[in-house]
Amino acid sequence: MSEQRMQQQIEAACAHIAQHAESVRHSRYRQRYHFMPQCGWLNDPNGLIYFKGKYHFFYQYNPYSGFWDRMFWGHAVSEDLLHWDYLPVALAPSEEYDDHPKGGCFSGSAIVIGDKLWVMYTGTCNNGNGFEQSQCVAWSEDGVQFHKYEGNPVLTAPEGVRPDCFRDPKVWEHDGLYYMVCGASRDGKAQALVYRSADFLHWEFFNVLAESRGEWGYMWECPDFFPLGDKYVLMFSPMGGGERTSVYLVGDFDYETGKFQWSTSGENDWGFDYYAPQSFLAPDGRRIMVAWANSWDWMPTWKDWGPTYREGWNGFFDLPREVRLLPDNSLQFLPVKELRALRRDPQFKDVLELQPDQEQSVTAGDGVAFELRFTLDLEHTDAEQVELSLRCGEGRRTVCTLDLKHSMMYVDRNNSDGWSRGVSKSPLFVRDKTLLDVHVFSDQSSLEIFTSDCTTNHSLNVFASDAQNGILLCARGGGARLLSLEGYGLERTFC
């Protein structure tokens, strides 16, 4: 009966999607090349994996509304990370451990065992003792239709851990054993707990992988843990970590003790709209990371989730990024190479001289969906600041300021669209540098700006009109020289 109930929930959700997808498809703020749902609400990426010749994206999903609510797992596949085919909903609330109007099938991950695809997810329910979260297992032979394990849940919150703060399992295999890390909160401090199993069904506590003493908040959501080069990386989104939306720690992991000793910390993205990143391995060995392009209402920079709920949908993913380890053990996050296939109508300029306080217009595509790249020649720049204004028009603009005098970067969206607010900020690494690279991806409702060899990145949602299609550059407090200016239009992959 339980499998029948899940199938009924899936069929009802799919019927609703089929009824509403066409009207949502023509909405004003729909992205052109960023991954998004057919209708309804999307948040965290789940179960990202390459399986049987295709990339699989699962995602936290409420198909019935443009707001968060009872959680399902949406599902789509692609052969190139660019063009996606939507599949039926993969998981639906159906059991005592995951069926509640404000609960459901929360975030998790996937692994291939033999010829089957297995997922572990957090079931969230409320059966009279407040919200309780547990780890649950499901499997699929074809990667489309899933079956929940009859012995679920396979893990409940250990003693001392809040039952409503035990979630988001990330699984992997090493030397014939399966490992899982999940986020937890104990005594008001965040933890990442690591478990291990011989069969993926019966799990034992191994160790506290890493924990906060307060500096990284009281709960780590969506932890991810993976090897990179000769190091290991722990990523998480900290609750109570101030403006931080996504943090990484780099260090060494001991499989004998289950302890992670980190020595380097950093931020995946400094913008307002980059949360819960999850990584996976591509067939060629690249470590690729995808995140939800939004944030939560408890964050200090949050305003709201934007106006797209009026159109019957909300949420999309930031661009997939390749994660690389640098010699100093910091991380680099590069837009995946597949995106180059979307380029159209190239515009090139070898040198562009900016005179003080004189705005210059540049061209990239239609000024709405485009890619723009240039290098700032610091040896021939005496400006204190260089301003890049994006989505300009109708008296509005989003301004990215490269503050060379103070080694800071700011992205101001207070005058972007009459809706958004806030100024994201980060250090700008220009000391002892002769060049500074800038790489921008703009879509209908978002901006992603990469600098300093993709080590400092800002992702922000901007709900601008099509008439806001100007791109302006200006030097302040001196002149500036730009090299190798490239502009491209980008092909629409979502209709």
- Kindly report the three-state secondary structure assignment for every residue of 213-259: CCCCCCEEEEEEEEEECCEEEEEEEEECCCCCCCEEEEEEEECCCCE
Report how far residue 266's alpha carbon sits from residue 194's, in angstroms, rounded to the nearest whole number.
22
Give the number of other Cβ atoms within 10 Å of residue 379's Cβ: 9
Report how far residue 331's alpha carbon sits from residue 267's, in angstroms, rounded to the nearest whole number.
9
CA atoms within 13 A on the CB side of 430: 25
Q: Which of 44, 224, 318, 417 is labelled catalytic?
A: 44
Please report, for residues 180, 213, 214, the alpha-carbon distance to residue 187 in angstroms, rounded to integers and kept in the order given: 22, 10, 10
Rounded to the nearest 10°, the torsion over CA 68, 70, 72, 74 is -20
List all residues 6 or more positions away from 322 whose beta carbon is below 8 Å from its beta carbon: 286, 287, 288, 289, 333, 334, 335, 336, 337
Structure token digits, residue 45? 């990426």
451 in Cβ contact with 459 (< 8 Å): no
187 is catalytic: no
Please report, for residues 274, 366, 368, the alpha-carbon distance to residue 417 in angstroms, rounded to integers and kept in the order given: 19, 18, 13
DSSP calls for 374-414: EEEEGGG---SEEEEEEEEETTEEEEEEEETTTTEEEEE-T
Could you give the residue numbers annotated as active site? Answer: 44
